[in-house]
Amino acid sequence: EFDTNGNSLAITNLTNYRNIGSPFMQQIWVRIENSTNNDCFAYGKYVTLTVVKKPKVKVSDSYQICLNKPQIKAHLTAGIIDGTSPNLYTYIWSKDGVVLPITTATLDVDVTGIYTVKVTNSFGCFETRTLTVTASESAHLLPPTVIDFSDSNSVTLNIAPSIGSYE
């Protein structure tokens, strides 16, 4: 917290400190001196701090699979939302906390569970995305209820109890 001549450079109020000029990089001046005596020293911009951004992904999402159509799988993606190429990242997929042997940006599944993908850039910065896969099945229609021969005729369609939400 001192300049190269020993004067204090303490930053007493961090909210007032701003890196101006280059928002994601700053060169830090340092003084290097001989530990035996202080007569020999050098100073300069020897350290460069660079802020590397984490991957931008849609953090969570939900999918449904149809139990009576197992050939149709849910297509899970790493969810990269900043337009960068998926090839710039590495991927680690897990299901219910167990790491899967998949290292691609997408995964097709036909089993329910909580899936996560850890998306990592070349600097080691990462973001984790959580995908919830739930089950559904085709609705099973029961015979309709018909009210006719009245002032307000109606037909009501009913479904048998099943897995899913229907409108």
List, for residues 27-73, the tens digit of each pLDDT value: 777 777 777 776 777 777 777 888 888 999 999 999 988 888 878 89
* CA 57/CA 1 separation, integer angstroms: 38
Q: Who wins on pLDDT, 112 or 49?
A: 112
* pLDDT greater at residue 12 or residue 60: 60
Check if the beta carbon of residue 79 is closer than 8 Å to that of residue 149.
no
pTM exceeds 0.85, yes or no: no
Q: What is the pLDDT of residue 81?
A: 95
Average pLDDT of span 121-129: 95
How far is residue 132 from each of residues 27, 61, 70, measured CA to CA in Å?
Answer: 44, 6, 17
pLDDT greater at residue 156 or residue 164: 156
Q: Are 129 and 56 in contact (CB under 8 A)?
A: no
- pLDDT of residue 89 exceeding 90: yes
Average pLDDT of the residues of the chain: 84
d(CA 78, CA 91): 8
What confidence score (pLDDT) does residue 2 get? Answer: 62
Strands 60-66 and 126-136, bridge-based pairing: parallel
What pLDDT does 85 receive? 93
End-to-end Cα separation, the chain, in angstroms: 65
Residue-wise burial string across 70-97, b where 16 or more C-beta atoms lie within 10 A, e elsewhere: eeebbebbbbbeeeeeeeebebebbbee
What does the pLDDT average to over 141-145? Answer: 80
Which residues are 146's β-sheet partners?
155
